[in-house]
């Protein structure tokens, strides 16, 4: 296969949802279709659930939430039959014109390479999810049809909108009594602020739910109610328009039940045909096209101790262009040096495999001993920096203290590695050198404490700290900046990179500072 063919057959996406909407269940069903796992029947028993393929960490098993973002790659062979109506409901001829660069030849099986990036569902890990969204080309939003759109999903959608990420919606749990399908679409339109159009429709709901059909390929035996539904749909919703979908303006909607494996294959088929292959990515210097033969990629996640038996980190790189090869020298841009990798891995949930090559769109894991930070770029030689991996000002702050004087070294190492992973943010007070951890939620503190204990054999204690916001500051007026730092020493801290951060303990203090120092700019994300 040529480089171009390899890249065109790739589909890299994230499944995002509110916790419990069914993300894990859907992911498993997609893996089943790809032949990547072989668990027959619905994922029902707690036993299976506890070892759910996308859950990595002990703490997830304990709490039943996904803390870590995991990556799963698999091949999916889709073979449209000649003259058959394709998944999108268009004839294959039309389907071909819909995706000119990615033609499905009638009767020819086409093997897509799918990379699913699972995201932590819990809101305390929102930042982790935001970063994951920088590594995907599209998103599937899962909604619990009994509950409708929930706050957290709305927030994730903000990020998709900012990045113009194409979005598909899966209305899950149609086997439960829930909201009316039309109301659900209204809900998405209003709450998520995106136009919608249904692609499939559910036959029945709740106990009567049995199957779905493509709206463009309606069964002959429509009931009166279904007939009326179709008329309403034809009158109200726009036809699917791939350009609008790719621009992030129109979301195709699918109904189904991940649990009962209904509506999932329809989603998958439509997805591989219509979701984008790797898209161009903006670097600070220029736009990078995935088809460029030279390798470029950035690190969006670092995961320490994936395997407790081997105390190593894995840096997750999204390949933005070209081909990545094992044992080939690449430029580590920040450190301005050449590195090569003898055991790059790709992921199949808990399994990792060494790979010889990977292509734009893929995620490779590089075993790391502290060389990488989130946002680092690897290239074939060019100096490039990818945008869009900011740190947000945390919402909660606590002092972290050592609770076991014999284990100071372990604690320091643990804190350093967890911060490099992006689990939370570390600030060091410029006044007294005390370490402050900033998070977006209480659960993160618990995870840090647990992981320090179980992975680093270190004990920590938290001391509360009244803090409103951390602001990264800069000014063209160096004298004023120095003056500010001197006057506000007790509020000043360094972030992980040694940059100056103003830690305002109340909205009032921040407002006064902004009023008094007109030339200083206060930023709420680290990237400005």
> What are the residues binding ligand G4P (CB under 6 A)?
17, 19-25, 44, 46, 49, 121, 172-173, 175-176, 257-259
Of 314, 240, 304, the C-alpha closest to 274 is 240
Q: Of 258 and 492, which has the nearer Cβ to ligand G4P? A: 258
Of 283, 299, 479, the C-alpha closest to 382 is 283
Q: How far is the CB of 21 from ligand G4P (least distance, A)?
A: 4
Q: Which H or E run contains 479? A: helix 478-487
CA dihedral 172→174→177→181, nearest 10 degrees, is: 90
Q: How far is the CB of 52 from ligand G4P (least distance, A)?
A: 7
Q: Of 24 and 417, which has the nearer Cβ to ligand G4P? A: 24
Q: Of 56 and 324, which has the nearer Cβ to ligand G4P? A: 56
DSSP code string of 255-288: E-BTTTTBSHHHHHHHHHHHSPPS--EEBSSSEE
User: Is 489 within 8 Å of 502 (Cβ atoms)?
Assistant: no
Give the Cα separation of 288 and 282 in Å (integer): 6
Q: Of 44 and 340, which has the nearer Cβ to ligand G4P? A: 44
Q: How far is the CB of 276 from ligand G4P (least distance, A)?
A: 24
Q: How far is the CB of 140 from ligand G4P (least distance, A)?
A: 12
Strand partners, 13: 116, 138
Q: How far is the CB of 147 from ligand G4P (least distance, A)?
A: 11
Give the Cα separation of 342 and 354 in Å (integer): 9
Q: How far is the CB of 419 from ligand G4P (least distance, A)?
A: 27
Q: How far is the CB of 267 from ligand G4P (least distance, A)?
A: 12
Q: Of 19 and 106, which has the nearer Cβ to ligand G4P? A: 19
User: Is 77 within 8 Å of 110 (Cβ atoms)?
Assistant: yes
Residue partners of 108: CB distance under 8 A and separation at least 6: 79
Q: How far is the CB of 42 from ligand G4P (least distance, A)?
A: 8
Q: Of 21 and 37, which has the nearer Cβ to ligand G4P? A: 21
Q: How far is the CB of 56 from ligand G4P (least distance, A)?
A: 13
Q: Of 171 and 346, which has the nearer Cβ to ligand G4P? A: 171
Distances (CA, A) of 253 to 171, 191, 197: 7, 15, 6
Give the Cα separation of 228 and 217 in Å (integer): 16
The C-alpha R_g of the chain, in whole angstroms, comes to 24
Q: Which H or E run contains 46? A: helix 46-50
3-state SS, residue 373:
coil
Q: How far is the CB of 50 from ligand G4P (least distance, A)?
A: 9
Q: Of 145 and 331, which has the nearer Cβ to ligand G4P? A: 145
Q: Of 205 and 331, which has the nearer Cβ to ligand G4P? A: 205
| Residue in the block written with tokens 């032949």 | 35
Instruction: Note the residue count of the chain.
Output: 528
Q: Of 74 and 170, which has the nearer Cβ to ligand G4P? A: 170
**518 backbone dihedrals φ, ψ, rounded to 5°:** -65, -25
Q: Of 349 and 389, which has the nearer Cβ to ligand G4P? A: 349
User: Is 346 within 8 Å of 365 (Cβ atoms)?
Assistant: yes
Q: How far is the CB of 125 from ligand G4P (least distance, A)?
A: 12
Strand partners, 111: 77
Q: Of 174 and 304, which has the nearer Cβ to ligand G4P? A: 174
Residue partners of 494: CB distance under 8 A and separation at least 6: 427, 428, 430, 500, 501
Q: How far is the CB of 25 from ligand G4P (least distance, A)?
A: 3
Tokens describing residue 330? 């690449």
Cβ atoms < 10 Å from Cβ of 419: 20
**461 backbone dihedrals φ, ψ, rounded to 5°:** -130, 145
């Amino acid at each position: 296969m040529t480089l171009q063919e390899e890249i065109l057959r790739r589909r890299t996406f994230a499944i995002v949802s509110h916790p419990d909407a069914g993300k894990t269940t859907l992911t498993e069903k997609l893996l089943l279709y790809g032949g990547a796992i072989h668990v027959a029947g619905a994922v029902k028993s707690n036993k299976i659930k506890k070892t759910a393929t996308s859950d990595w960490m002990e703490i997830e098993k304990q709490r039943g939430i996904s803390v870590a973002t995991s990556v799963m790659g698999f091949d999916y062979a889709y073979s449209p039959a000649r003259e058959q109506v394709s998944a999108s409901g268009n004839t294959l001829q039309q389907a071909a014109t819909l995706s000119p660069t990615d033609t499905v030849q009638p009767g020819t099986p086409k093997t897509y390479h799918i990379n699913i990036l699972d995201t932590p569902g819990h809101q305390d890990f929102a930042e982790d999810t935001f970063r994951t969204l920088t590594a995907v080309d599209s998103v599937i939003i899962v909604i619990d049809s009994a509950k409708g759109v929930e706050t957290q999903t709305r927030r994730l959608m903000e990020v998709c909108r900012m990045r113009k990420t194409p979005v598909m919606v899966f209305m899950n749990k149609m086997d439960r009594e829930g909201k009316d399908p039309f109301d659900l679409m209204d809900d998405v339109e209003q709450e998520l602020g995106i136009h919608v159009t249904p692609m499939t429709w559910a036959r029945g709901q709740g106990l009567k739910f049995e199957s779905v059909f493509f709206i463009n390929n309606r069964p002959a035996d429509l009931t009166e109610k279904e007939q009326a539904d179709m008329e309403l749909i034809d009158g109200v919703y726009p036809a699917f328009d791939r350009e609008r979908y790719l621009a992030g303006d129109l979301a195709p909607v699918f109904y189904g039940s991940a649990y009962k494996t209904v509506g999932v294959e329809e989603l998958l088929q439509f997805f591989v045909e219509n979701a984008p292959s790797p898209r161009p990515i903006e670097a600070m210097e220029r736009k990078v096209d995935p088809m460029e033969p030279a390798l470029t990629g950035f690190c969006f996640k670092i995961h320490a101790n994936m395997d407790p038996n081997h105390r190593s980190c894995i840096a997750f790189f999204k390949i933005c262009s070209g081909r990545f090869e094992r044992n080939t020298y690449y430029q580590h841009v920040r450190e301005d040096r050449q590195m090569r990798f003898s055991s790059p891995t790709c992921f199949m949930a808990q399994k990792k495999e060494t790979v010889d090559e990977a292509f734009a769109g893929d995620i490779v894991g590089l075993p790391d001993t502290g060389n990488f930070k989130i946002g680092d770029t690897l290239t074939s030689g060019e100096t490039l920096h990818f945008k869009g991996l900011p740190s947000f000002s945390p919402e909660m702050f606590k002092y972290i203290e050592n609770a076991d004087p014999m284990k100071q070294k372990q604690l320091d190492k643990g804190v350093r590695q967890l911060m490099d992973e992006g689990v939370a943010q570390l600030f060091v007070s410029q006044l007294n050198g005390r370490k402050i951890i900033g998070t977006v939620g209480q659960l993160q503190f618990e995870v840090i404490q647990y992981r320090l204990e179980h992975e680093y054999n270190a004990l920590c204690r938290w001391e509360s700290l009244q803090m409103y916001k951390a602001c990264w500051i800069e000014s063209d007026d160096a004298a004023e900046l120095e003056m500010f730092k001197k006057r506000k020493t007790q509020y000043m801290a360094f972030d992980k990179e040694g940059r100056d951060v103003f830690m305002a303990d109340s909205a009032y203090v921040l407002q006064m500072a902004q009023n008094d120092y007109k030339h200083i700019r206060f930023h709420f994300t680290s990237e400005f």
